[in-house]
Amino acid sequence: RTDPDGWLVAEKRCGSCRRGWRRLWRLRVSGHTPAPPLVDDRRIVFASLDNQIYGVRRRNGHRLWVADLGQRISRSLVSAPIEDIDHPEGAEAKVILVIPDDGRKMLALDPLNGSTAATYSLSNPDDRLVGSPVVTPNGLILVARQGYDPRSASVVVLSLVPPDREDGDDVGEENGYNDGSDRAAASPETP
């Protein structure tokens, strides 16, 4: 949780503690963190209103990396698995999906170092990605798209494609995303 004084606080349930919780560690953050942190076995990743995303060690709060996206992030971060890629730590390979507040693109960040692994950008300048992405059990990424008319909307369906499996014909605007534009299994827009 983030307290009112700007500290990200990690607590553990404690049956013998008076409050029921025991503080494990705390980390000063330079901006408010409006969305809940993304927690996995080894790290915690969170966005701050200072335009940065932080990766810290789960057990002690030590900062692992900071990614400056240059844009405000107040939406929830989402973890998405990547099929057919070996992870250096032996776990399932994942990326962190981030949609900046302007809604013009979605980034996939490497959870190990915060670098941008892929970007999906909207081609129409009036369109916006709204809300946070949802990842289905079979790894498809769903995100709502609002058109130039606020009453028009659709769902964009994406799947992450490992770089060695790209054929160049069905890749999004930048390396890594498959918008499924020429595949029956995933369509870019579904009414």
- Note down pLDDT in tens along the chain; length 191 residues: 667 677 888 888 888 887 788 888 988 887 777 788 899 878 999 998 888 999 999 999 999 999 999 998 888 999 988 765 555 555 567 899 999 999 999 999 999 999 998 899 988 888 899 889 999 988 889 999 887 776 777 888 888 766 665 554 443 443 333 343 322 223 333 33
Residues 96 and 152 in one domain: yes
Question: Are 3 and 63 in a shared domain?
Answer: yes
Asked whether residue 32 falls in the same domain as residue 100, the answer is no
Q: Are residues 99 and 46 in the same domain?
A: no
CA gap 59, 54 in Å, rounded: 15
Look up the pTM and report it.
0.75
Give the CATH number of the domain where residue 37 resides: 2.40.10.480
pLDDT of residue 65: 95
Q: What's the confidence (pLDDT) of residue 185? A: 28
- Which amino acid does the sequence have at 129? L
Residue 15: predicted pLDDT: 81
Residue range of the domain that includes 1: 1-71
Looking at the structure, tell me whether residues 119 and 89 fall in a common domain: yes
**Residue 167 per-residue DSSP state:** -
**Judgement on whether residues 128 and 64 belong to the same structural domain of the protein:** no
Same-domain status, 109 and 174? yes
* Residue 166 and residue 119 share a domain: yes
All residues at 6 or more sequence positions from 109 whose CB lies less than 8 Å from its CB, including other chains: 53, 67, 95, 96, 97, 98, 115, 116, 117
